[in-house]
Amino acid sequence: MKILIADDDALSRRLLEKTLERAGYEVTAVENGKQALDQLTKLEGPRLALLDWVMPELDGPEVCRRVRKRSEQTYVYMVLLTSKGTKEETVLGLESGADDYLTKPFNAEELRARLRVGERILLLEDRLVEARENMRFRATHDPLTSLLNRGAVMDLLARELHRSHREKRSTTILLGDVDHFKQVNDTYGHVVGDEVLIEIANRLIGSVRPYDFVGRYGGEEFLVVLNSCDPAFAPGRAEELRRSVSNRAIQTAKGSLNLTMSLGALMSSDWGPRPVEELLHEVDTALYKAKASGRDCLRMAQPMTKTEPEAAPLLQPVRLQR
Ligand code: GH3
Ligand code: MG
Ligand code: MG
């Protein structure tokens, strides 16, 4: 475990260093408060610190105060080293944000015992952070494929649409649905169906850029958001996603299966500011058209242009002549 010693007295610093190295710590020793603050606020810096009260640049309590101000970083357990150990000093030290204090000259046994208390607190914090991260992941991800779940990908899409509109860029929304997926379940069982979904999820993730979003929208439906995607490239990128499913067989416990996916797509620049639900409805309609056109294909959602209603009557006679 890393530990920081900040003491301007060279002799005392060396003594602490030796004691702690013998106890198995990875020691960094500095000689003033400013260096201590730098160490404690850097990424991956020590999370356990022994700070002398009186030091040049910044004293021990001031280092504690400044470390505590940075609430975003992980917890640092700080022990102040005082020479007097009066009640007033103790209160002031703890009020400044220190977790504990030790009076000099210190007893090596007591020092180690107090540092073990600090380690227990840090371990507890690690476990809490881990539990919180696990909960956050579970709340936003699909347990089968580990993709974003429907709620999370919709939230990100809504935010992205606002941003792209503000920055006059285009977001491409894709809705993919595996073709005849029910047959996989019916023929090979649900477990193989699950294997297929996991593999397709991986292929989709592998086909987008790191800042695009892929979410599981429903059973065998996937929502892909291509952020700031140049409209000229959107159909090509959508085709790549479609081909990522069909271009090679999927290996499963019951053999390799050839599957395809139909896609509906929409470029936000074609539509202007619209509610997410409305845009998704349009993509869904395009997906339905892809299914109706024989599956394993892509259909783009196109808004009705102003000229279309006028053009419609002209088309009418052509159809009647057939
Ligand atoms: P289409 O080409 O028209 O999309 O046909 P389809 O068979 O893919 O579509 P349908 O909607 O009829 O069937 C989807 C199936 O997906 C039905 C459902 O049981 C299955 N499914 C949904 N979620 C899961 C899942 O998590 N695991 C497995 N194995 N199957 C799932
Ligand atoms: Mg479906
Ligand atoms: Mg399907």
Is 59 contained in some domain? Answer: yes
| Catalytic residue (one of 62, 160, 195, 220) | 220
Query: End of a domain among 105, 120, 139?
Result: 139
With contact defined as beta carbons under 8 Å apart, do 227 and 164 qualify?
yes
CA geometry: angle 260, 205, 164, nearest 5 deg: 105
Q: What is the pTM of this model?
A: 0.77
3-state SS class at 111? helix
DSSP secondary structure code for residue 32 in this structure: S
Measured CA distances, 81 to 23, 67, 88, 225 (Å)? 18, 17, 14, 55
Give percent of the chain above pLDDT 90: 86
With contact defined as beta carbons under 8 Å apart, do 68 and 95 qualify?
no
- The preferred substitution site among 142, 181, 289 for testing ligand 1, maximizing ligand atoms within 8 Å of CB, is 181
CA geometry: angle 80, 12, 54, nearest 5 deg: 45
Does one domain contain both 274 and 186?
Answer: yes
Is 311 contained in some domain? Answer: no
Measured CA distances, 100 to 15, 63, 95, 108, 128 (Å)? 20, 14, 11, 15, 22
When pLDDT is averaged across residues 222-229 and rounded to a whole number, the result is: 96
With contact defined as beta carbons under 8 Å apart, do 89 and 104 qualify?
no
How many Cβ atoms sit within 10 Å of the Cβ of residue 174?
27
**Helix segments in the chain, DSSP class H:** 10-22, 33-41, 60-69, 87-95, 108-140, 150-166, 181-188, 190-207, 234-246, 276-292, 308-321
Is 249 contained in some domain? Answer: yes
Which CATH number do you get for residue 33? 3.40.50.2300
DSSP secondary structure code for residue 261 in this structure: E
Residue whose Cα lies nearest atom 30 of ligand 1: it is 193
Mind listing the pLDDT tens digit for each residue in 95-126?
A: 999 999 998 888 999 999 999 999 999 999 99
Closest ligand 1 atom, residue 185 Cα: 29
Mind listing the pLDDT tens digit for each residue in 232-251?
A: 999 999 999 999 999 999 99
Q: How far is the CA of 181 from the centre of ligand 1 (A)?
A: 5
Residue whose Cα lies nearest atom 13 of ligand 1: it is 182
Count of residues in the chain:
322
Identify whether 220 is a catalytic site residue: yes
Give the model's pLDDT for residue 322.
Answer: 36
First to last CA, the chain: 83
Give the model's pLDDT for residue 305.
Answer: 65
Q: How far is the CA of 133 from the centre of ligand 2 (A)?
A: 31
Does one domain contain both 88 and 158?
Answer: no
Does one domain contain both 283 and 207?
Answer: yes
Range of the structural domain that residue 52 is part of: 2-139
Mind listing the pLDDT tens digit for each residue in 141-181?
A: 999 999 999 999 999 999 999 999 999 999 999 999 999 99
H/E element, 271: none
DSSP secondary structure code for residue 97 in this structure: T
Residue whose Cα lies nearest atom 4 of ligand 1: it is 179
Which CATH number do you get for residue 169? 3.30.70.270
Residue whose Cα lies nearest atom 10 of ligand 1: it is 182
Closest ligand 1 atom, residue 177 Cα: 4
Average of per-residue pLDDT values in the chain: 92
Does one domain contain both 119 and 191?
Answer: no
Q: How far is the CA of 168 from the centre of ligand 3 (A)?
A: 34
Using CB distances shorter than 6 Å, the residues near ligand 1 are 144, 177-182, 185, 190, 193-194, 197, 219-220, 291, 295
Does one domain contain both 178 and 92?
Answer: no
Residue 72's pLDDT band (boundaries 50, 70, 90)?
confident
Mind listing the pLDDT tens digit for each residue in 289-312?
A: 999 999 999 999 988 765 544 444
Does one domain contain both 200 and 105?
Answer: no
Radius of gyration of the chain (CA): 31
- Is the pLDDT at 314 greater than 90, yes or no? no
Question: What total of structural domains would you count in the chain?
Answer: 2
H/E element, 309: helix 308-321
Is 318 contained in some domain? Answer: no
Mind listing the pLDDT tens digit for each residue in 253-292?
A: 999 999 999 999 999 999 988 999 999 999 999 999 999 9
